[in-house]
Amino acid sequence: MRYLVSVIDDKVNPGSTDRQPAISAFNERLIADGHWVFAGGLADTDAATVVDNRGEQVVFSDGPFVESKEYLAGLWVWEASDLDVALRLATEASEVCDRKIEVRPFR
């Protein structure tokens, strides 16, 4: 079972910026235990571009598709046997990243 694990940061009250060593160590463990599928940190939402080609002409717009106080700062894809396993890992991840974590199953 695969889960999308979103790391959520808050523009007003951001998490601490010194988490990279802890996150790397956590990633090593995810790999060793067979949970790691993919991981990546994201650039600021200001760097996003939205593309809409549903009409006659493609429209590019500068910025994220929705402006919000909270935003997606990074993500993982995990392999876990069930939600209990994923939630236990996410509990650790939230502490390691000093940020909120959303766990969402893939279909």
Partner 1 sequence: MSDVDEAVTRAHREGWARVVAALTRRFGDLDIAEESAAEAFATAVERWRADGVPPNPGAWLTTTANRKAIDRIRRENKRDDKHEEARLVHDDDPPEPPGAIDDDRLRLIFTCCHPALAPQTRVALTLRMVGGLTVPEIARAFLVAETAMGQRITRAKTKIKAARIPYRVPSAEDLPARVTGVLTVLFLVFNEGYLATGPDTDPVRHDLTAEAIRLTRLIRALLPEDGEVAGLLALMLLTEARRPARVSADGELVALHEQDRGAWDPALIAEGHRLVRERLAAAAAGVAPGRYQVLAAINAVHTSARDARDTDWSQVLALYDRLVRLDPSPVVALNRAIAVAELDGPEVALAAVERLGDELARYHAYHATRADLLRRLGRSEQSRAAYDTAIELAGNTAETAYLTRRRDQLGWSPPGAATETRPSPPVEGR
Residue 31 beta carbon to partner 1: minimum distance, rounded to whole angstroms:
22
Is 107 a binder of partner 1 (CB under 8 A)? yes
Could you give the string, one character per residue 45-84, with x where binding to partner 1 holds by CB under 8 A and - elsewhere?
------------------------------------xxxx
Check if the beta carbon of residue 77 is closer than 8 Å to that of residue 2: yes
With a CB cutoff of 8 Å and minimum separation 6, the contacts of 73 are 7, 8, 9, 41, 42, 99
Which stretches of the chain bind partner 1, using CB under 8 A?
1, 81-84, 87-88, 103-105, 107
